[in-house]
Amino acid sequence: MRSVYTKVTDSMNFFEGNDPVELAKTYGTPLYVCNERILRSRCRDLKHLVTYPNFVVDYSAKANSNLAFLQIVRSEGLEVDAMSPGEIYVEKMAGFAPKEIFYICNNVSEEEMQYAIDEDVIVSVDSVSQLEMFGRLAPGHDVAVRFNPGVGAGHHEKVVTAGKKTKFGVDPEFIPQVKEILKKYDLHLIGINQHIGSLFMTGDAFVKSIDSLLEIAAQFPDLDFIDMGGGFGIPYKKEDGEAPLDLKNLGEALDKKLFEFAEKYGKMIKFRIEPGRYISAESNVLLGQVHSIKHNHDKKFVGCDIGFQVLIRPAMYDSYHGIEIYRPDETKQADETAETAALAELVTVVGNICESGDILAKDRLLPPIKEGDILGVLDAGAYGFTMSSNYNNRLRPAEILIRENGDVVLTRRREKLEDLVKDLIPLDL
Ligand SMILES: *Cc1c(COP(=O)(O)O)cnc(C)c1O
């Protein structure tokens, strides 16, 4: 491989001595590449966020629910959130015990609620009516309730999940109704939870939102846990030196609140957080290959095989992902000198989907890219594969894992054309 633009992955030894061009050749592109060492270190960062002793990190699996990934998270001593029966299913497969799975559901059917009850996981309901449904299905059981403290935060309107305008959680105004239903069905409220939104880069809104949650908690004297939610951000603009979340500051501010509350509450109640992105985003680089470069009117387009069916965040949330360039040795480049390679140019990197919104990076300053180059999309481990689709009848990519000793293993096979049609039923014409 010729290093063209590899600053970020070099700085963290992301490929552990493997050549991304060779990985792309061996496994094909697009390809999600996960680094085990980085994943483990992100788990440990949050496990040690506070000194408060009764503290649990629930990894929120909707960010990345690869089986091998979940097995690693489990081996780090984390528990998990689930948002659907499918997540419960794969989490059990990864070895999580039912009581290590926190099912945070939203507008679910009776069948789905029953599934969670039968699987014996901890259930959190999201409205007074869903609490009533839970009570009917499982009188006498333990249950948790998600509240909406009235404060939200996040990087985009679509990921703010609390506050006055969102669909989530129970408005604290309805606490009397919650108490009534708990009594009616002899339910035991074991916990309350919230999740104010995704991707905060300073802990202020998070710490502030805890106050309202603790006020709610104080109205229920017999809780086992308080779940403060996820949303811990990561720096997506690493090339520009964006700083990571200051966990030390956040941890200290949290610690103060947790100890204070425990003192008032009269027991060392369990506190949980439920981060998804922080644990998973930085552990993955998504590799793709450049197949066509062209000028269209005033713009230069770099066309690659990473369409929004593979990584939808840029198209859906206008998200920024850093892009690196790795070049196969044999790439023909008569015109290339050290100087031209150092010249950056403004390009728009696009995928292979028939939609004009299929844009991975708009007007991005990058060193000159050539056909055949391998691109590395940074921080692709959260809401990457899990939000991928078969749009345009394209195959979902493979995933590989770089072990701590540098070995590479396949953790998900690339789909095959037969997978696309396996559930179709032809007419008998
Ligand atoms: C999505 C989600 C999370 C995780 O959010 P991140 O921003 O990835 O940390 C946590 N809790 C709930 C309820 C969620 O819906």
Sequence-distant (6+) residues with CB within 8 A of 149 are 162, 169, 172, 194, 196, 209, 212, 213, 216
The token duo for 57 is 């990190």
Contacts 24+ apart (CB under 8 A), 120-125: 121/82, 121/88, 122/190, 122/191, 124/191, 124/193, 124/227
Strands 345-350 and 299-304: what pairing? Answer: parallel
pLDDT level of residue 2 (50, 70, 90 thresholds): confident
User: Can you tell me the distance from the alpha carbon of 43 to that of 45, in angstroms, rounded to the nearest whole number?
Assistant: 6
Angle at 363 between CA 357 and CA 368, to 5 degrees: 120
Ligand 1 pocket mutation pick from 198, 272, 282 by most atoms within 8 angstroms of CB: 198
Average pLDDT, the chain: 94
- Kindly write down the DSSP assignment for every residue of 15-49, as one continuous string: TTT--HHHHHHHH-SSEEEEEHHHHHHHHHHHHTS
Give SS3 for 211: helix
Q: How far apart are alpha carbons 391 and 209 in whole angstroms?
A: 38
Compute, in angstroms, the gap from residue 51 CA to the centroid of ligand 1: 23
Nearest to 381 by CA among 243, 309, 287, 273: 287
Given the CA of residue 193, which atom of ligand 1 is nearest to it? 13
Q: What is the CA radius of gyration of the chain?
A: 23
Q: What pLDDT digit, counting tens, does each position of 165-189 carry?
A: 778 899 999 999 999 999 999 999 9
pTM: 0.95
pLDDT in tens, 260-285: 999 999 999 999 999 999 999 999 99
Of the candidate ranges 45-59, 151-165, 323-337, the one whose mean pLDDT is the lowest: 151-165
pLDDT above 90: residue 335: no
- Measured CA to CA, the distance from residue 328 to residue 21 in angstroms comes to 6
For residue 63 and ligand 1, the question of a CB distance below 6 A is answered with: yes
Best probe residue, ligand 1, of 102, 195, 273, 279 (max atoms within 8 Å of C-beta) = 195
Tokens describing residue 92: 């059990």
Are residues 325 and 375 in contact, defined by beta-carbon separation less than 8 angstroms?
yes
CA gap 394, 424 in Å, rounded: 16
